[in-house]
C-alpha cells in the first residue's frame, strides 16, 4: 500500500535523490489525496441529504488537487505545493463561512498551516509564514464576518454530528502527519550531523596518514630513479646501463600505479553515485584485456564464468575500479612456482543481493594479517610492491555502493575476494 501511494504521487519510474525532499513531497501528496477523498465523501453525503450547491466547489477542489499530483509526477514539486495549500485554504474557508460552527470545519485550518511549515524548507520559510498568515486571515473572516460565497446551509443535529466527526477524523491524523514529518526531519538532520562529525574525524585521521605515507612513497621512487640516472651516466657498459634503465622503468611504473591509486581514492570520495545498466561480463573482460599484456600476467589463465547476459543496475565506474584492483592484485601476487596459474571470476545471486567472486591460486594471505588488508597504506610485508591503497579503495568504494567485501585465503593456496552488492 505504501509503495502504491508513493508511485501514485511521484510516479513509478521517478526518483527523488534528497531524502528530505522526498518526505516533503510524499507529505504534500498525502494532503492532496486525503483532501480528494474527503471531498468525494462530503459530495456523497450532500447528495444523500439533497444538498447540491456545494458540488461545484468539491469538483473544483478535486480538479486542482489532481493537477497538483500531476505536477509532482512531472517533478514540478514547488508548483504542486503552490496549488495544494492555497486550494485547501480557499475550500475550507468556503465551507467554514457557510456552515454553523458546530460542523467543526474550522479545525481543518490547523493541519493546513502545520502542513505548510512541514513541506516548505527553511529557505522557503517566508512562503510558509505567508501561507500561515493566509490561513489565519481566512479563519478570522469565516468566523467573525457575516459573509459567505456559498449559500448558508442548515443541518440537523445528526448531520452536524456527522460533519464534526468527519472533520475531526481528518484534522487529527493530518496534523499528526505534519508534526511527525517535522520530528523525523529534525532527527534525520541530527543523525546526519553525527555522521558528518564521524566522517570528518575519519578524514582527518586519514589525511595525517595520507600526508606521511605519500611523502615517503612519492619521494622514494624519485630518489631511486635519480640514483640510477647518476649510475648510468658514469657507466660505460651498455649492458649495465640497460639494466639501470629497466630498474628505472620499474620504479616509474610503481610511481604511476601509486598516483593512479591516489586518483581513484579521490574520485571515489567526490564522484556522485550513478545508476546505469552494467553488463558485468563485458566489464570484467575489458579489465582483463587491459591487464593481460603485462609481463606478470603472461602465464596466468583468466577464467570468466560470469553469464554473458548478466546486467545489473549499478555505478559502472566504481565497479570498474573495484574489479580492476582485485584482478590486478591477483596478477601481482601470483605464485610463480605453480604451473597452472589462474584467476577465476564468478557470481552468485541471493534474494535482493548478488556477489562477485575473484578467486586465484596465488601466494595467499596469512591468517593473522587478513583483517588488516583493507586498511589504508597497509602492506603485508616490507617487500610488498603495492601502494597499500588498492584494497582500501576497494572497501571504501563498496561502502559507497551499500555493499560489503570479504576475503578468504590460505597461504600458498590462493585467495578469494567476495564483493556483495544490492541488486
What is the structure's pLDDT at 187?
81
DSSP 316: H
Considering 39-48, 129-138, 308-317, the range whose residues carry the highest mean pLDDT is 129-138
Please tell me the distance from the alpha carbon of residue 31 to that of residue 170, in angstroms, as a whole number. Answer: 10
Closest alpha carbon to 421 in 398, 399, 403, 395: 403
Percent of the chain with pLDDT over 70: 91
Closest alpha carbon to 307 in 366, 367, 349, 255: 349
Structure-model confidence comparison of residues 325 and 352, the more confident one: 325
What is the structure's pLDDT at 206?
66
What is the structure's pLDDT at 389?
76
Asked whether the beta carbons of 416 and 408 are under 8 A apart, the reply is yes
Asked whether the beta carbons of 72 and 16 are under 8 A apart, the reply is no
Q: How confident is the model at residue 379 (pLDDT cuts 50, 70, 90)?
A: low
Determine how β-strand 301-304 pairs with β-strand 353-360: unpaired
Q: How confident is the model at residue 214 (pLDDT cuts 50, 70, 90)?
A: low
Q: How confident is the model at residue 146 (pLDDT cuts 50, 70, 90)?
A: confident
Q: Distance from CA of residue 137 to its chain's centroid? A: 41
SS3 at position 350: strand
Phi, psi of 120 (to 5 degrees): -80, 130
pTM over 0.95, yes/no: no
Phi, psi of 400 (to 5 degrees): -60, -35
Fold of 275-422: Heat Shock Protein 90 (3.30.565)
What is the structure's pLDDT at 320?
86
The yes-or-no verdict on residue 38 having pLDDT over 80 is yes
Asked whether the beta carbons of 159 and 100 are under 8 A apart, the reply is no
Q: How confident is the model at residue 301 (pLDDT cuts 50, 70, 90)?
A: very high
What is the structure's pLDDT at 270?
67
The yes-or-no verdict on residue 209 having pLDDT over 70 is no
The yes-or-no verdict on residue 195 having pLDDT over 70 is yes
Q: What kind and span of H or E run contains 44?
A: helix 19-48
Structure-model confidence comparison of residues 236 and 51, the more confident one: 236
| Dihedral angle, C-alpha 304, 308, 312, 316, nearest 10 ° | 60
Please tell me the distance from the alpha carbon of residue 397 to that of residue 265, in angstroms, as a whole number. Answer: 8
Q: How confident is the model at residue 418 (pLDDT cuts 50, 70, 90)?
A: very high
What is the structure's pLDDT at 68?
92
Asked whether the beta carbons of 65 and 35 are under 8 A apart, the reply is yes
Average pLDDT over residues 12-40: 85
List pLDDT tens digits, range 221-235: 777 778 878 878 878
Average pLDDT over residues 1-14: 83
The yes-or-no verdict on residue 361 having pLDDT over 90 is yes
Residue 253, C-alpha cell as written in the block: 611504473
The yes-or-no verdict on residue 155 having pLDDT over 80 is no
List pLDDT tens digits, range 93-110: 888 888 888 888 888 899
Closest alpha carbon to 273 in 317, 220, 335, 309: 317
Q: How would you class 98 by CB atoms within 10 Å of its CB: exposed for 0-12, middle for 13-18, buried for 19 or more?
A: buried
DSSP 305: -
Please tell me the distance from the alpha carbon of residue 229 to that of residue 138, in angstroms, as a whole number. Answer: 86
Residue 299, C-alpha cell as written in the block: 602465464
Q: How confident is the model at residue 151 (pLDDT cuts 50, 70, 90)?
A: confident
Query: Which sequence spans correspond to the domains of the chain?
Result: 2-197, 275-422
Across 330-346, b (16+ Cβ under 10 Å) vs e yields bbbbbeeebeebbbbbe
The yes-or-no verdict on residue 15 having pLDDT over 70 is yes
Amino acid at each position: 500500500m505504501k509503495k502504491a501511494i508513493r508511485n501514485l504521487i511521484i510516479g513509478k519510474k521517478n526518483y527523488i535523490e534528497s531524502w528530505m525532499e522526498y518526505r516533503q513531497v510524499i507529505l504534500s501528496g498525502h494532503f492532496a489525496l486525503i483532501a480528494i477523498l474527503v471531498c468525494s465523501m462530503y459530495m456523497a453525503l450532500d447528495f444523500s441529504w439533497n444538498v447540491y450547491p456545494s458540488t461545484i466547489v468539491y469538483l473544483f477542489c478535486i480538479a486542482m488537487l489532481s493537477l497538483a499530483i500531476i505536477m509532482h509526477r512531472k517533478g514540478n514539486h514547488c508548483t504542486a505545493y503552490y496549488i495544494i495549500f492555497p486550494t485547501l485554504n480557499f475550500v475550507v474557508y468556503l465551507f467554514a463561512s457557510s456552515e454553523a460552527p458546530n460542523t467543526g470545519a474550522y479545525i481543518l485550518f490547523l493541519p493546513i498551516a502545520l502542513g505548510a511549515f512541514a513541506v516548505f524548507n527553511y529557505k522557503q520559510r517566508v512562503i510558509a509564514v505567508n501561507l500561515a498568515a493566509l490561513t489565519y486571515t481566512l479563519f478570522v473572516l469565516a468566523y467573525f464576518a457575516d459573509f459567505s460565497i456559498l449559500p448558508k446551509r442548515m443541518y440537523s443535529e445528526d448531520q452536524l454530528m456527522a460533519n464534526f466527526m468527519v472533520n475531526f477524523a481528518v484534522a487529527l491524523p493530518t496534523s499528526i502527519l505534519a508534526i511527525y514529518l517535522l520530528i523525523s526531519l529534525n532527527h534525520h538532520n541530527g543523525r546526519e550531523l553525527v555522521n558528518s562529525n564521524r566522517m570528518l574525524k575519519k578524514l582527518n585521521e586519514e589525511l595525517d596518514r595520507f600526508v606521511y605515507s605519500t611523502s615517503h612513497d612519492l619521494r622514494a621512487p624519485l630518489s631511486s630513479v635519480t640514483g640510477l640516472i647518476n649510475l648510468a651516466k658514469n657507466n660505460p657498459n651498455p649492458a649495465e646501463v640497460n639494466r639501470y634503465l629497466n630498474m628505472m622503468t620499474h620504479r616509474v611504473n610503481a610511481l604511476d600505479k601509486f598516483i593512479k591509486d591516489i586518483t581513484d581514492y579521490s574520485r571515489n570520495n567526490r564522484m556522485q553515485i550513478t545508476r546505469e545498466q552494467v553488463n558485468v561480463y563485458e566489464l570484467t573482460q575489458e579489465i582483463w584485456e587491459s591487464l593481460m599484456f603485462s609481463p606478470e600476467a603472461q602465464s596466468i589463465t583468466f577464467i570468466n564464468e560470469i553469464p554473458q547476459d548478466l546486467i545489473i543496475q549499478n555505478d559502472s565506474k566504481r565497479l570498474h575500479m573495484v574489479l580492476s584492483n582485485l584482478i590486478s592484485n591477483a596478477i601481482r601476487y601470483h605464485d610463480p612456482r605453480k604451473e597452472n596459474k589462474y584467476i577465476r571470476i564468478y557470481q552468485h545471486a541471493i534474494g535482493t543481493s548478488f556477489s562477485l567472486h575473484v578467486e586465484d591460486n596465488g601466494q595467499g594471505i596469512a591468517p593473522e594479517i587478513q583483517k588488516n588488508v583493507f586498511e589504508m597504506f597497509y602492506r603485508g610485508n616490507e617487500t610488498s610492491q603495492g601502494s597499500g591503497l588498492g584494497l582500501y579503495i576497494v572497501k571504501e568504494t563498496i561502502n559507497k555502493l551499500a555493499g560489503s567485501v570479504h576475503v578468504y585465503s590460505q597461504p600458498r593456496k590462493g585467495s578469494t575476494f567476495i564483493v556483495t552488492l544490492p541488486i
